[in-house]
Structure formats: C-alpha cells, structure tokens
Structure 1
Amino acid sequence: MALTAQAQALLEMVYRVGAPRFHELSVAQARHSFDKLQFVFGGDAESVASTMEVPMTRADGSALLARLYRPLEAGSAQALPLVIYFHGGGWCVGSVQSHDVLCRQLANRSGCAVLSVDYRLAPEHPFPAAVEDALFAVEWAWENASLLTVDPLRMALAGDSAGGTLSIVAALMCRDRGPVRLRFLCLIYPCTEIVSNRPSRETYGSGYFLDRESLAWFFERYLPGGNTDDWRASPLKAGSFANLPPLLVVTAECDPLGDDGIALGERVRSDGGTVEHLGVDGMVHGFITLGKWFPEAHDVVDRISERLRQRLGGAADAV
C-alpha cells in the first residue's frame, strides 16, 4: 500500500516549503521544530480527572520529573493500574509537554493512570543517561505506588520511537533485577537496532519524514562514543527475550524503523513470548502524536487502550 492521502499531503507540504530537516538544525532549533509540529498537528488536550507534577528524588538529592494523569472515570481514592510512558524524539528532542495530548488520551481511554517521564536528553546527557532514568522511574513508581495511588501489581510500560526503545530496555532490566513485575509492554515504532540493513531502512530512508540523515543526527548525539553494539542502545542485541510480559508492537508501513520493530517482535516470540503486531498501512514515523492530521492516530490509541484494559483493567475495575 502507498502512503495515505493525508500522509502524502503532509510530506508534500514539508518538502515543498523547504522546511529544514532535523540534521540541518541545531539541537535547540530541532527541539523547537519538534514541539511546533506537535502543537500544530497534535490536536486539543482532553480533560482528565487530574494531573500532578511528580518529582522522583534520587539518592544524590536530584530529581527526575514526571507528570501523572488520572482518567476522568477514576475516583480520587482508587488505586489505578499504571502505564509508565516514555516520549519519543530520538533521545534528543521531545518532552512531557510534547506528548501531553497523547498521554491524556491514553489515560481516559484505557482507564489507567499514566506517568509520563521527562528523562534526560542528549547531547547534554548522552547514553546511557536516558536508560538510567527509565529504569529509575520504573523502580521508583513500584516502590512509591501508594503515593501515586496506583496498583504496583498492574503496571505497564509504553513509549513511541526512542521511548519504545527505553520501554523494552527497562523491561529487560527489570526482568533481570527484580522485584518489579510488569504486566504489559507497548512499543510504538521503536528503534531496536542502531545499525540495521533491513529493507525498510533503505526503502523509506529518504522522503518519508524520518530521513536517514536525521537518523544519523540523532544517533551521533545519543551515542557520541559510537558503541552501537550495547544492547541497551540496540535491544535486538540482548541475549534473551524470555520471560517478558505480553507485548504489543506498533509499526508504520512507511517508516525506516519498521522492519526493526517487526524483527524485535519475532525475537520475543521465538523466545516464548506473547506478541501482537499492529502494522498501520500508509503511515510514516511519528504519526501517533499527530492526531489532528491523521485519523489513524486515534484508531491506534483506541487499540492500545483496549489492550491496556484487557491486560491491566481500568478504573472501573480498580479497588
């Protein structure tokens, strides 16, 4: 299937006006450009029952910030299932605010609390800072579930793009470290291998929004040392995917990272895991946060939310 009409129109608009691509910008400009894209095409923010800024204090006294969303259907005293969300942006751009609309949708439609994590970004904080923050956020939420009014036995991880990578890496680390026991994972077009020769990298490497030069721009800033074989950066290089919770992998058809996401799902399945693959025809990388432009984004959020309710239960089931 070719690009949808909406996807084609967006790409024509971007390339017709000569908008600079990420690799042609400074870090500050790239962050501004990314935030502007989300603001213009992300849609309106839904009302939720409450939001709360959460400082997660480390042993050294510093704090990792996050935002907690509680769905409209939730009572204030209900211990809800929890989805810990890691935003996309190539580990260099994006924030809790850039994904505010999406996290509100996920909370309301799934009936779960959503904790969106503002992990440290490169190049100021290169690899493995984001990985360390992701693991810390999961373990902190587990240990402080009562403060968040959530159920630590009904926790899931989710994220898009770089955030999907952080989700699977954090899940593997939690599996090996304990005591956190996750119930579900949702990876939305994750980057699963820094260096890849799978066909989608070439087929969709130019003219489909996330160009190969932009991928290289992100990778160089996230991994200035160039250690692409570290499984925490390229999770497909992990030794085993056994004993992970059920996994939903969402891929976009016209995405250079698409085949890598599919390959991860196949690895998990070959190691005995439960995997559902949702391939979205005609879409480009990044569509999930552009719901004002792409109706497919709403359909996928509904599908993810349905799976979260099935695996975790929603507010109506919380006790």
Structure 2
Amino acid sequence: MSQYAHLSDPDPEFSDAFSKLPIRPPPLDPLQAIRGLMTDLAATTKTHNRSKLPDASSYSVEDCKITVKGGEITIRCTKPTPTSGEVPAFPVLFWAHGGGCVSGDLELDDFPNRILCAKYRISIVSVDYRLAPEHPFPIGLNDCYSALKWVGRGSAQYLLFPLLMYDQTVENAPRIFGDPTKGFLVGGNSAGAYLATVVAHRARDDAFFRNHKVTGQILQYPRVLARAASPPQYKDQLLSMEQNKDGPGLTAASIDWIAGLVKAPPADPEYSPLLAAHEGLAPAYIQVCGLDPLRDEALLYERLLREAGVKTKLDIYPGVPHGFNFAFPQLAASVKFEADLNFGLAWLLDAKV
C-alpha cells in the first residue's frame, strides 16, 4: 500500500458535486469528445473568473503568429500596462495549456492568466502548440520550445535595447515587455506541465539561454512518466495509477489511449522527464491531486528534484481528481488551489536563481 493511499479518499464536497453531474453515454468519437470537453472547461473557467478580471486598462492581450518547423502557431501575450514613466520590463511566465497533448487551446487559461498578469505585474506568454494525433511527438514539444526561444529572444533584445522597446522597433520584446533578470518562469497544467518540465530541461542545456536562464517552474498535476517506462526500483512508490485507475475524470485507460495518439517512445526522457537528469534545474512549484492516477509520479518527481539539489515547493489536494479546479471551481479545494498558485508564483519570483 502506498504511503499516499489515503489521499484517494474522496473529498466530501467533491463527491457531492460529482454525484449531481448528468450521466452521459460513451462517446462515439473519443477524440472529439475530449476536445469538446476542454472547450466546455474553458467556458466554465471564463464564467467563474469573469467577475475577478482586473480593469481592462491594467493589461493588454495580443495574439501573434510565429513560424515553427513545418508551419505556424499562435502565441498569446498578456502583459501589464506600463504606468506613467515606468520602464516596461516585467518578469515573464511562459505557459502551456493542458489537454493530454491532443486537446485544449489558449482559451483554457486565458482569464486566469489575465488575473495573474495584473496582480503580479508579470508578462505571460501562452502557446497554442500543435496537437496529436495530427501532429505526433515531438511536434507539440518542439513548438513549445520554439515559442520559448521566441520569448527568450525578445527578452534578450529588451536588455540590449531598452529604449527601442517602447518604440516597438524590435520585433519580439514590445509584445512581451519582458526582463528575465526579474524572473523567467515556465509552467502549465497536466500535459502543459509535462511540456514545461521538458522545455526547462532543454533550456538548462542550451547555450541560447545562457544569459537569460529559466528561473522557475509551475507544474500543476504533471504527467512525467509513461506507464511503459516505469523504473522497477520505484514500483512500490508508483501505485496511484492502479489505485485511481477508474478516475473520476482521468482514467488509466484514457492515459494509455492518449499515449497511443501521441506516439512517443515511452522511455524517451523528453516524453518521460522523470527519467532525465535534474541537476541544475530551476526551482519548481508543484501542485498534485490526491485522487489522480498521476499522483505518485508527480510526488516522486518532486522528491527526485529535491535529491538533485533543486528547490521545490509542493501542495497536495486530498480527495480530488485530475483537473478538478477547472471542472468544479466552486469547491473549497479549488479556491485553495488558486490561492496556493498565487503563493507559489510569488515564491518563485522571490527564489529566482
């Protein structure tokens, strides 16, 4: 029995809310169903956060296209409005949405990012990476890394040519208002958290980021290990995939189905980043759900980061499933999740390397 087995005991408030959901027949097209679900979750999140949005004058949102290998993707820049006389140079958060790498888009985190942007005076760049199965591994991952380099390039230009940024004569930086010396974070939820872990590893080893390093990671219920690549030495520590195999929300079978669409080699550290070397990574703030099949791999990942000398901050939400904060934003656990994210973000900005 896992030492974390008790975390699967359902939260009574969640159980009550979940029991009131209508029973739906199995979808004829699972892929379209999950994509539709993500659209519904984005709408729920916007409805919940609409009243919390800061004054529109305190931030701006711009979508722009960037060229990547084999095509073009959209990134969304949400940045604070500079006050009178203020140099527009803010910390930067690079964000990847969830959805299993097969669903989701920029709308999922749009309103929460606007709120964080204005509250913490931080520029947020979210990436609409291409999805499997139309674009299998590593296309979505490479899209994210290309976008991260776009962000890094713009931030570096700001440091070199600060007077030009406000005049918008250098391509990227006016869209970011980013100063990596004040914080250069990567983050995401679920599959987006997986993508954030991998781009953090890549950036650590890439000379491109030598002068503007990633300084922090926000990892919300990350997927960091393919089931087929589970190391034998951790067998007794990775029991949540079996314990929580039937969901709710995310099941072991759906995880395997998504893996089949992504078509990644299970043991590739860029698909199972738990297997990578972690020394020298930026500090990580990690949020984990107790009723999640991915729970134990996320907790093990946090431990391995600490053992590698990486600063970590961990929050666990007992009795609630993967993505609960999107589906049930009214829960006390969801309110805590949101408040904890604020504390985690502030901690990363203070703990930047």
Specify the TM-score bucket, using the shorter chain as the normaliser.
Answer: 0.7 to 0.9
Name 1:116's counterpart in structure 2.
126
TM-score by length of 2: 0.80
Contact 1:110-1:306 within 8 A present in 2 as well: no
User: Whole-Å Cα distance in 2 between the matches of residues 35 and 194 of structure 1?
Assistant: 26
Compute the displacement of 1:266 (Å): 1.0
Is the Cα contact below 8 Å between 2:313 and 2:344 reproduced in 1? no
Matched, 1:20 2:26: yes
1:96 to 100, 106, 111: 106
Structure 1 residue aligned with 2:308: 271
Residue 234 of structure 1: how far off its partner (Å): 0.6
Match of 2:214 among 164, 182, 185: 182
Pick one of 151, 167, 176 that aligns with 2:196: 167
2:248 matches 1:220: no
Aligned letter for 1:88? G
Structure having the larger proportion of residues in strand? 1
Report if the CA contact (8 A) 2:79-2:177 is conserved: no
In structure 2, what is the equivalent of residue 252 of structure 1?
Answer: 289
TM superposition shift of 1:274:
0.9
**1:212 to partner: Cα distance:** 1.5
* RCO higher in structure (CA 8 A, sep ≥6): 1
1:155 lines up with 2:223 in the alignment: no
Aligned residue number for residue 240 of structure 2: 200
Task: Give deviations 1:100-131, integer Å, cap 9, x for gaps.
Answer: 12222332343311111101100100100111
CA–CA separation in structure 1 for the residues paired with 2:241 and 2:347? 34
Identity %: 24
The answer as to 2:273 corresponding to 1:235 is: yes
Larger deviation, residues 63-72 vs 194-203 = 63-72
> 168-177 or 144-153, which moves further after superposition?
144-153
Is 1:31 matched with 2:39? no
The answer on 1:299 being equivalent to 2:336 is yes
Decide whether aligned partners of structure 1 residues 214 and 72 sit closer, same or farther in structure 2, where only a CA change above 3 A counts: farther
> Contact 1:71–1:112 (CA<8 Å) still a contact in 2?
yes
RMSD: 2.3
Task: Indicate conservation of the 8 Å contact 2:42/2:107, yes or no.
Answer: no
What is the CA–CA distance in structure 2 between the aligned matches of 1:290 and 1:77, rounded to whole Å? Answer: 39
Give the deviation of 1:50 after TM superposition. Answer: 1.1
Structure 1 residues 289, 111: closer, same or farther in 2, change over 3 A?
Answer: farther
- After TM superposition, give the deviation of residue 301 of structure 1 in Å: 2.6
Unaligned stretches of 5+ in structure 2? 1-6, 156-172
Q: Which amino acid aligns with 2:77?
A: L
* Compared CA separation, residues 182 and 206, structure 1 to 2 (3 A): same
Letter in 1 for 2:23: V
Give the corresponding residue for 2:49.
Answer: 44
Unaligned runs of 5+ in 1: 314-319
Q: Contact (CA 8 Å) 1:74, 1:111: kept in 2 or not? A: no
Q: CA deviation at 1:85?
A: 0.6
With normalisation by structure 1, the TM-score equals 0.88
- Using the alignment, how far apart are the partners of 1:221 and 1:10 within structure 2? 31
CA contact (8 A) 1:291 1:298 kept: no
CA spacing shift, 1:102–1:51, aligned 2, 3 Å: same
Q: Distance in 1 between matches of 2:247 and 2:72?
A: 40
- Residue 281 of structure 1: CA displacement? 1.9
Q: Secondary structure at the match of 1:97?
A: coil
